[in-house]
Chain A
Amino acid sequence: GNSVTQMEGPVTLSEEAFLTINCTYTATGYPSLFWYVQYPGEGLQLLLKATKADDKGSNKGFEATYRKETTSFHLEKGSVQVSDSAVYFCALTDRDDKIIFGKGTRLHILP
């Protein structure tokens, strides 16, 4: 079945460091891919999305490119801030329109 695998956390970085959170997926067809972020005590917020191969989603300095050949959707940011500390979820929508999430990656940014 469809699934999403993302790197285990927690990931701890210093402020202004480069961030990569890996995400790979298994799916039939051409799912839409998402990154959601969950700040402490809150629900999930959509960070970015891509709906077809080679699309690049971007928002708030974060980027991810839909790579069909490697079935990946890695999240990157050039210079992280303390306020980026949160849990990040990679997700896809399958053919039944269900959204399938990865386990989440907790990110800690140190000042």
Chain B
Amino acid sequence: KAGVTQTPRYLIKTRGQQVTLSCSPISGHRSVSWYQQTPGQGLQFLFEYFSETQRNKGNFPGRFSGRQFSNSRSEMNVSTLELGDSALYLCASSDYNRLAGGTDTQYFGPGTRLTVL
């Protein structure tokens, strides 16, 4: 199976702009999670989508939003970019459904490195 893919791999934006990142999960996986990784804060959970519904949300401002499509692909949007949004954004997919079983192992993509100038 192909792994999790993320596009673009690198992105440079300026303050105030908005950005959309894309994630394609492993085929058959319906859960997609997003994380922000920075040297200071480490890995922080942004949100998780399962079957087009947001199932969990981390402690990030409303400028961070996401969605999931019927084919399980997910996008993450950040509006009004700030310098502090510079980070590696990681997407992970799993086939875990607490009710239906499966595995709670998450498989990560290579990330999108966002630089805000």
Contact = CB atoms under 8 A, between A and B. Distances in A.
Interface of A: 32, 34, 36, 42-46, 49, 89, 93, 96-104
Interface residues of B, number: 22
9 contacts: A42-B110, A43-B4, A43-B90, A43-B108, A43-B111, A99-B92, A99-B106, A101-B35, A102-B42
B109 A104 contact: no
B90 A44 contact: yes
Interface of B: 4, 33, 35, 42-43, 45, 48, 55-56, 58, 90, 92, 96, 98, 104-111
A45 B43 contact: no
B106 A46 contact: yes
A104 B44 CA distance: 12
B82 to A, nearest CB: 23
Given A43-B90, A43-B110, A32 B104 contact: yes
A5 B56 CA distance: 22
B45 A46 contact: no
A89 B35 CA distance: 14
A53 B108 CA distance: 26
A89 B108 CA distance: 13
Contacts of A98: 33, 45, 48, 56, 58
Given A34-B105, A43-B109, 19 more contacts: A32-B104, A42-B110, A42-B111, A43-B108, A43-B111, A44-B108, A45-B108, A46-B107, A96-B56, A97-B56, A97-B98, A98-B33, A98-B45, A98-B48, A100-B45, A101-B35, A101-B42, A101-B43, A104-B43
Nearest to B6: A43
B90 A49 contact: no
Residue among B48, B55, B56, B106 with the highest chain A CB neighbour number at 10 A: B106
Contacts of B48: 97-98
Contacts of A102: 42
